[in-house]
Structure 1
Amino acid sequence: MERSQQSRTEAHLLVVDDEPNIRDLLASSLRFAGFEVSTAGDGNGALKCTEKSSPDLIVLDVMLPDMDGFTVARRLRERDVSTPILFLTARDDMADKVQGLTVGGDDYVTKPFGLEEVIARIRAILRRTHAIENEDDGVVRVSDLVLDEDAHEVHRAGIEVELSPTEFKLLRYLMLNAGRVVSKSQILDHVWEYDWNGDAAIVESYISYLRRKVDQIDDRDGNPVTPLIQTRRGVGYMLREPKAE
């Protein structure tokens, strides 16, 4: 295993893949993107490196020579290691994806993948797993939208926004996944929980409620705010900071 020695990095990542070309390409690209990177070529190496260096996130190939990535993830969780895991899988198989999430994975990317997609997913995972703990007093910010968990308050452009408990929970989920598209089923799972048996149309209704309260208002100077909630037709929804002009 190896570890880069950059002095200032976004986070420390562990890349686990038994194919040297893929492992080296990922490591180089992630270092270029500002991350510190360690690497391992098999499951045992991944377990040892995680214990030794405590990475902030693990990029973990499913197919490894000594044990599969699911077994690695399961062993880490059995040791109470909560490090986020992004699985790399060569099969676009829903059963594999479900198993990966079941054993404690946080997301997955299907091979062949684009490096930009991998970096975007890594940052999204880090954002939603560390956003609350890295902010003072449980405050999450996206652009001029501020959510205070402790006070259960939301402000947009300095104006307080009144939300119902469900609207608050939905907005929090979107903010923790800012910059990433989340599907209706993911929203139902995280906001209404797994035992909720309603129709996915409820998501559309609550997204509409949020838009009226968060995106369709004026700031203190009477100017319309820039909409943050976006729809990706056939895919889901995303909360995204406005592009700089």
Structure 2
Amino acid sequence: MNIILIEDDPRIADFLQRGLRAEGLQVQRAATGPEGLALVMETARQNKTETAPTVVVLDLMLPGMNGMEICQTLRAQGITFPLLMLTALNTLEERVAGLRMGADDYMCKPFEFEELLARLEALARRGQGPKISRPTHLQVADVMLDRESMRASRAGETLNLTARELALLELLMSAPGRLFSRERILSSVWGLNEDPLTNVVDVYIRRLRSKIDEGRPVPLIQTMRGLGYRLEAPTE
């Protein structure tokens, strides 16, 4: 998936770029309205959607040209890339206006990165069939997690985890073997407003590892230095 990110706030833009690229997505960024409009129109002219879908993430308040004007101009030009509008203005009038201008979806700041990613994926696959239902129970090796009761165990032994540790475990177990970057973990478990320079992810990984892997013959939580973490069943 190609993402065109039009966002003037450097902190938000940097966080999103690193997080989305860590998910394997291609990201192009513009910091002003005119620059963003030109980037989307050039992408449309090059017809990059032949290889991968393109989704536009558009901030509402931009220098030079606001998001509403960009959206209206793109639709008037017949450019139909799915468009997700971001704004700090959480009013019904703003949301309705954005959708009527041609936006496909609308999110208010602050938002969770995990939800943003899910919405982008939904926009990219729109019309490609029904969603797969979310399982209520997760299992990796002998670790079990009940999502409804939020209770976890390993080898039948209950794990005494805090709410944050459970959220971290759920994320890792949702895709066994998948490498999660620190940025993805931070935004999914702590939210977009958390300082990206904090070491809280590393601290909680150590806590979770001490409760899940310590004293066990087979550790499940793996560290890829400089890249992130994953939880994976051992191979025979």
After TM superposition, the score normalised by the length of structure 2 is: 0.51
What does residue 39 of structure 2 align with?
A: 49
Report the CA distance between 1:53 and its aligned residue. Answer: 2.3
Which of 79, 82, 99 is residue 80 of structure 2 equivalent to?
Answer: 82
Instruction: Assess, with a 3 A threshold, how the Cα gap between structure 1 residues 52 and 97 changes in structure 2: closer, same or farther.
Output: same
In structure 1, stretches of 5+ residues that fail to align are: 1-10, 132-139, 141-174, 181-242
The alignment's C-alpha RMSD in Å is 2.2
1:35 and 2:25 correspond = yes
What does residue 113 of structure 1 align with?
A: 111
CA contact (8 A) 1:124 1:179 kept: no
The one-letter code sitting in structure 2 at the alignment partner of 1:19 is D
CA contact (8 A) 1:12 1:35 kept: yes
Q: Cα deviations across residues 164-198 of structure 1 (Å, max 9, x unaligned)? A: xxxxxxxxxxx2xx269xxxxxxxxxxxxxxxxxx
The one-letter code sitting in structure 1 at the alignment partner of 2:14 is D
Instruction: Assess, with a 3 A threshold, how the Cα gap between structure 1 residues 32 and 76 changes in structure 2: closer, same or farther.
Output: same
How do 1:195-234 residues align onto structure 2 when only pairs under 5 Å count?
none
The one-letter code sitting in structure 1 at the alignment partner of 2:22 is F
1:102 and 2:100 correspond = yes
What does residue 214 of structure 2 align with?
A: none
The 1-side partners of 2:78 and 2:15 are apart by 30
Question: 3-state DSSP class of the match of 1:81?
Answer: coil
CA contact (8 A) 1:63 1:89 kept: yes
Which of 10, 13, 35 is residue 3 of structure 2 equivalent to?
Answer: 13
The one-letter code sitting in structure 1 at the alignment partner of 2:109 is K
Report the CA distance between 1:244 and its aligned residue. Answer: 9.0
Count of residue correspondences: 129
The 1-side partners of 2:2 and 2:28 are apart by 8
The 2-side partners of 1:97 and 1:122 are apart by 18
Report the CA distance between 1:109 and its aligned residue. Answer: 1.0
The 2-side partners of 1:179 and 1:47 are apart by 35
In structure 2, stretches of 5+ residues that fail to align are: 49-53, 134-173, 177-236
| Percent identical | 35
How do 1:117-132 residues align onto structure 2 when only pairs under 5 Å count?
117-128=115-126, 131=128
